Amino acid sequence: MEDQDKIIEELESDVSELIEKELESSSAIIGINVGTPEGTKITSRFKNPINMSVGEVTAANSSLVFLSSKMLRDSLNQDVGYNLITGKDRIVLSILSENITMIAYLNRELADLEGLDSYINRLQKLALQISAIIETSDILKEEIFKGLKRAIPNTLVLAIITKDGLPIKIQSTMPEPILSAMIAALYNLSGVLLESGMEYSIIGGVNGSVIIHELDENRILALAVPESDERKLGSYIAKIKAIILKVI
């Protein structure tokens, strides 16, 4: 948890700078809150305090984005871009980007005068900029680690590495450079044997198994579990996929 707090603290200063500039340049924007899709707060800036706490806004927005995405996907098979909620005095604009959820509160009168379209565009651009900062930060791997530890609590080794073998985040008693090199070599060798990209691989033993799973274009995830039952391993793969889908 301390790790995550430290990462969020570092992220907050980078992201806050962008948000403050946006707030200063527009009289219609009352405040902006940024969080991860899982509902972890990254940063929040409001010109005037609102009734909800920062954590409550982030969680509510995370839930809103989840429901909106599901609604649009299930009914129209479309990905959600934004969710616009209009009230008497306020407009709430929620934006889902690659790896963040952002919610902006607008003064309705001023936003209507200047044109809502321009606000949607500029806030989507801001979300993309923040998203780029988040993507290169440690928050994603922390989210993956947190999600995996929760979903598969008996995990003994957990590693995120690059496909070249560079350790990104590792929890293991094995030396990081050796473990990451082995995972990368196994991943690459699997690709050679498959003659295409590997999705996942299970190295099964009598009382334990290692699962290697592609995380994204550049990264691989590996975990070791004291489990050899194929059905259990299958359920672990499903959990890993769900976490990757949620975080990446």
> Which spans of this chain sit near another protein (rule: CB under 8 A)?
162-167, 175-178, 180-182, 184-185, 188-189, 191-192
Phi, psi of 3 (to 5 degrees): -60, -50
C-alpha 220/C-alpha 213 separation (Å) is 6
Smaller CB distance to another protein: residue 14 or 176? 176
C-alpha 177/C-alpha 206 separation (Å) is 26
User: Residue 7 half-sphere exposure, CB side, CA atoms within 13 Å?
Assistant: 18
Query: 182 with 190: CB under 8 angstroms?
Result: no
Smaller CB distance to another protein: residue 67 or 174? 174
Report the candidate in 178, 173, 247, 176 with the shortest Cα–Cα distance to residue 213: 247
Smaller CB distance to another protein: residue 110 or 166? 166
C-alpha 57/C-alpha 44 separation (Å) is 9
Cβ of residue 164: shortest distance to another protein, in angstroms? 3
Smaller CB distance to another protein: residue 175 or 205? 175
Cβ of residue 192: shortest distance to another protein, in angstroms? 5
Cβ of residue 177: shortest distance to another protein, in angstroms? 4
Strand ranges for 68-121 from DSSP E: 82-86, 90-96, 101-107
Smaller CB distance to another protein: residue 119 or 187? 187
Cβ of residue 157: shortest distance to another protein, in angstroms? 16
Smaller CB distance to another protein: residue 37 or 165? 165
Query: Rounded to the nearest 10 degrees, how much is the dihedral formed by the CA atoms of 78, 81, 86, 92?
Result: 140
Cβ of residue 42: shortest distance to another protein, in angstroms? 26
Query: Rounded to the nearest 10 degrees, how much is the dihedral formed by the CA atoms of 58, 80, 97, 85?
Result: -40
Cβ of residue 244: shortest distance to another protein, in angstroms? 22
- 99 to each of 102, 113, 147, how far by Cα in Å? 10, 31, 15
